[in-house]
Amino acid sequence: MKYFGTRSLSSFMHGLLTVVWYLAWAFAVLAIVLGTVIVFHEQFGSPFSGGMADSSRADIRDWERFQSLPLGVRILILPYFGAVMTLVLMVLRKARILFSNFRSEVVFDPENVRVIRQISKLVIAMAVLTFSAGSFLTGVILLLICEILAAGTVLQEEHDLTV
Amino acid sequence: MSIIFRLDRVMADRKVPLNELARRIGLTDSNLSILKTGKARALRVSTLNALCRELGCQPGDLLEYVPGEPQEDFDD
């Protein structure tokens, strides 16, 4: 399998991430609009009623508990969702830059080190926000891979400047 | 760095163009340009050998040590 250059895994991933990027934007806008209506419109009722979603008793109980909270507390869900979606979109944007560089066969490059370091920090921030141990581990592993790439970049530079 | 490449001076003395010398010693123009402009970090003995052979000179004609220049070697 070809990993870098045109018609490679990197090229495929860049195309896939471009599609996901636009889908994520559409989802974020739709979720903010629908979420605002559902959270703040008292007459909207439960999203689990009317057969719209496959729901369990626990889901319905959680929803009712959420609806019974004061408006000041319920409003906090919007900045929280906004923060998570912002982090997701930033990760997607950075990943697109990274795979674009890989597609152009630019691998051991200081820009890639910078981008992977930013992605790892964003993933760790997302892990803290969503209480996800898996994401936290992924972020830490990415941070270590970034340091390996940084060392590789130094070696590549040495190689390029050896005549 | 304290070591200065004097390739440009030797090439000018011998009136050898860069692309011609690069072709004769089997290097790319860009690699020879890195050497000529002093941006190279390291020089292979085989490259030095080829340069001396084609330019008819000694390694000392191509390299010069200038004392007092800032040190940047082996610091990491």
Which ipTM score applies to this complex? 0.74
CATH code of the domain in which B60 resides: 1.10.260.40
Backbone angles phi, psi at A18, to 5 degrees: -65, -45
Cβ neighbours of A162 in B, within 8 Å:
40-44
Which pLDDT score is estimated for A52? 52
Residue A149 CA, distance from chain mean position: 22
Distance from CA of B43 to the nearest CA of A (A): 5
CB-based contact, B39 to chain A, within 8 Å:
yes
Contact check, Cβ <8 Å, B39/A158: no
How far apart are the C-alpha atoms of A84 and A79, rounded to whole Å? 9
Segment B29-51 mean pLDDT: 93
Token pair, residue A113, equals 């080190």
How far apart are the C-alpha atoms of A107 and A101, rounded to whole Å? 7
CA distances from A145 to A90, A96, A134 (A): 19, 18, 16
Q: Which long-range contacts (CB under 8 A, 24 or more apart) does B18-25 make?
A: B21/B51, B21/B54, B21/B55, B24/B50, B24/B54, B25/B50, B25/B51, B25/B53, B25/B54
Per-residue confidence band for A89, with pLDDT thresholds at 50, 70 and 90:
very high
Query: Phi/psi zone of residue A7: left (φ > 0), alpha (ψ -120 to 50 degrees), beta?
Result: left
In the block, residue with structure tokens 């974020």: A28
Which of A153, A161, A163 to probe by mutation at the B interface, max B CB count within 10 Å?
A: A163
Give the domain range for residue B53: 3-65
CB-based contact, A163 to chain B, within 8 Å:
yes
pLDDT single digits (tens) A132-162: 999 999 999 999 999 999 999 999 999 999 9
Residue B73 lies in a domain: no
Residue B36 lies in a domain: yes
Q: Which long-range contacts (CB under 8 A, 24 or more apart) does A15-19 make?
A: A17/A92, A17/A95, A17/A96, A17/A99, A18/A96
Instruction: State the first-to-last Cα distance of chain A, in angstroms, to the nearest integer.
Output: 32
Task: Please give the share of chain A, as a percent, with pLDDT higher than 90.
Answer: 64
Residue B75 lies in a domain: no
Residue B71 lies in a domain: no
Cβ neighbours of B47 in A, within 8 Å:
163
B-chain residue closest to A158, CA distance: B41
pLDDT for A43 beyond 60 = no
Which pLDDT score is estimated for B76? 46
Task: Please give the share of chain A, as a percent, with pLDDT higher than 70.
Answer: 91
Task: Specify the amino acid at residue A86.
Answer: T
CB-based contact, A71 to chain B, within 8 Å:
no
Per-residue confidence band for A121, with pLDDT thresholds at 50, 70 and 90:
very high
